[in-house]
Structure 1
Amino acid sequence: MTTPTNDHFDLGGDLRVKRMGFGAMRLPVSTLGGPANDRDTALRVLRRAVELGADHIDTAAFYYHQSGLAANELIRTALSPYPDGLVIATKVGPSRGPDDLHPTGQLPASGLRAEVERNLRELGRDSLDLVYLRVGNVQEPDDEPIGERFEVLAGLREEGLIRHLGVSHITAAQLAEARGIAPVAAVQNRFDITQPADTGMLEICERDGIGYAPYFPLGGFGIPDDDRVKAVAARHGATVPQMLLAGLLALSPVMLAIPGTGSPAHLEENMAAAALRLTAEDLAALRG
């Protein structure tokens, strides 16, 4: 018996996407502080991702290399005019200076409109399919109020600049605060098969039909060295990264995988993971 698998999810109830998507964070640069990736290769990866069925691309205006190579510009160059059904999600909230390797602060509520408009401009869109309010930086999420900032995005949704709203790097209390202001279509928190600390949030999303698109689905800072994952991967003739992704998709019907890469070979490997079907025994083994 295989675990029940729905290959699609309806974001916000009306944006149907395949549950295996693509994350753009590693398009400009593969490692923090490393050299910029090859532009032509990055464009080829994006086009191939769509050819392989990815119709949900996750990006942000702060995904760029100091050289100027930027995820949003690559997406527009590679894919515009955008094919019907392609959903592009982006994030706003973090602030990053031109010389910063990564975001180091948070934009105030007054700065969010400009950041949304920047994404619209860079992507060449009249409206954005899904915009996450990304809260905090690298520290663990806390319960700081997010209402003032989320209200700005809710207003932009009312204006028609945003179709659906999401929240990222948040707690259950912050999710509840946001939902008291406007509907939340998706959550993006840290989660992978070997680090399931956010299971409580995943259960809320599953109960209420909210998409859950974990960042760092492959561990984030190197592929986890986990004997459970290795054993199940070996049974399926799969790689460890493929099993990490397949395990996520098998875990919940609201799970949306958005692995990122600047490598054509890794892209092919990641996208193939969507075809793996795990048994209940496999999933129990991954859960430990």
Structure 2
Amino acid sequence: MTDITTYPLGDRAVRRIGYGAMQLAGPGVFGPPRDHDAALAVLRAAVAAGVNHIDTSDFYGPHVTNRLIREALAPYPDDLVLVTKLGARRGDDASWIPAQSADDLRRGLEDNLRHLGLDAMEVVNMRFMGDGHGPTDEPVEPQMRALAEMQREGLIRHIGISTVTAAQVAAAQQICPIVCVQNQYNIVHRGDDTLIDSLAEQGIAYVPYFPLGGFSPLQSDRLQAVATRLAASPMQVAQAWLLRRSPNILLIPGTSSLAHLEQNLAVASLVLDDNAMAELNAIGRVA
């Protein structure tokens, strides 16, 4: 019988509801957390509840989330998969600055390894900057070659790619195997439908971000109505829809609150029947 609660990420099986560490940093993903001890507690509670996939980056803070992860969880459980991303750095004014040269990427990887206390990263996503709203058609080959070289050196075990088109994924696959794609996708932002299905056929994970991003007020009202009927929050319903949408979708909801963590993990038991799925799919067609 197929285990629908897990999916391969590289050569590891991870639970389909993971944890995104971004919100552990301060406002604007910059500076220290509002409550250091609470941040540690959330990380420990997530792992204690069975989460074995944590998404992070050394440009969150910068350096904040990785240091928290190490303080809270090292020595790491054997089944825990830590996934980071490269491609940016933070300015002193909290700005996001592209850092995509080979030297930038190597420095970024070294920072991640040092702050997490690791000799190698299990998965590294190459995060392209896009245009602020989604991917552009920029070449991906230089960055992917740089990551592939670090993979050959044993510093990276598996490589993913983020904020990209299907054509960019295909170009990256000419250079190295890709184990996951991380893009914006949700009930109303459905541009990756074909890509998700193609990745599922290849056994490649898809990790959506912004599960409530891009909704119009009317669409938000429709989602709220469905959520009210199901006695759940809109975020829970949006995440449950993603889990049912395709078996290769992995969630990485983030929070700095124990209560919200419990709500996110409860999505695993939220059942959407065919009627609920049809109603949610129709939300995406509401202007």
Q: TM-score w.r.t. structure 2 length?
A: 0.90
Report the AA paired with residue 253 of structure 1: P
- What is the distance in 2 between the residues matched to 1:106 and 1:221? 30
Report the AA paired with residue 86 of structure 2: V
Going from structure 1 to structure 2, the CA distance change for 1:32 and 1:92 (only over 3 Å counts) comes to: closer
Other structure's SS at 2:105 match: helix
1:51 corresponds to which of 48, 52, 56:
48
1:25 equivalent to 2:22? Answer yes
CA offsets 1:51-81 (integer angstroms, 9 cap, x no match): 122110000000006xxx7000000000000
CA offsets 1:155-192 (integer angstroms, 9 cap, x no match): 11122111110000011111011000010000000112
Other structure's SS at 2:251 match: coil
- What is the distance in 2 between the residues matched to 1:146 and 1:171? 10
- What is the distance in 2 between the residues matched to 1:15 and 1:220? 32
CA offsets 1:11-63 (integer angstroms, 9 cap, x no match): 12x21000000001100125567984211111111111111221100000000
Q: How many Å apart are 1:209 and its aligned residue?
A: 1.5
Q: TM-score w.r.t. structure 1 length?
A: 0.90
Q: How many Å apart are 1:105 and its aligned residue?
A: 2.1
CA offsets 1:123-181 (integer angstroms, 9 cap, x no match): 01111111000001524311111111111111111221111100000111110110000
- What is the distance in 2 between the residues matched to 1:10 and 1:127? 19
Deviates further, 84-93 or 207-216: 207-216
- What is the distance in 1 between the residues matched to 2:250 and 2:206? 6
- What is the distance in 1 between the residues matched to 2:128 and 2:219? 29
1:196 equivalent to 2:190? Answer yes
2:107 aligns with 114
| Unaligned stretches of 5+ residues in structure 1 | none
Query: Contact conserved, 2:223 with 2:234, CA < 8 A, in 1?
Result: yes
| Unaligned stretches of 5+ residues in structure 2 | 283-287
Query: Contact conserved, 2:31 with 2:61, CA < 8 A, in 1?
Result: no
1:216 aligns with 210
Query: Contact conserved, 1:5 with 1:249, CA < 8 A, in 2?
Result: no
Equivalent positions of 1:164-179 (< 5 A) are 164-179=158-173
Query: Contact conserved, 1:194 with 1:224, CA < 8 A, in 2?
Result: no
Task: Number of aligned residue pairs: give it.
Answer: 280
Query: Contact conserved, 1:73 with 1:122, CA < 8 A, in 2?
Result: yes
Q: How many Å apart are 1:259 and its aligned residue?
A: 0.6
2:261 corresponds to which of 267, 273, 278:
267
Report the AA paired with residue 9 of structure 1: Y
Q: How many Å apart are 1:110 and its aligned residue?
A: 2.4
- What is the distance in 2 between the residues matched to 1:5 and 1:278? 18
Report the AA paired with residue 112 of structure 2: N
- What is the distance in 2 between the residues matched to 1:150 and 1:36? 32
- What is the distance in 2 between the residues matched to 1:273 and 1:219? 18
- What is the distance in 2 between the residues matched to 1:263 and 1:173? 38
Q: Percent identity?
A: 45
RMSD: 2.3
- What is the distance in 2 between the residues matched to 1:36 and 1:81? 22
- What is the distance in 2 between the residues matched to 1:179 and 1:132? 13
- What is the distance in 1 between the residues matched to 2:87 and 2:48? 31
CA offsets 1:186-241 (integer angstroms, 9 cap, x no match): 00001122322222322221222110111222438999962332233223221111
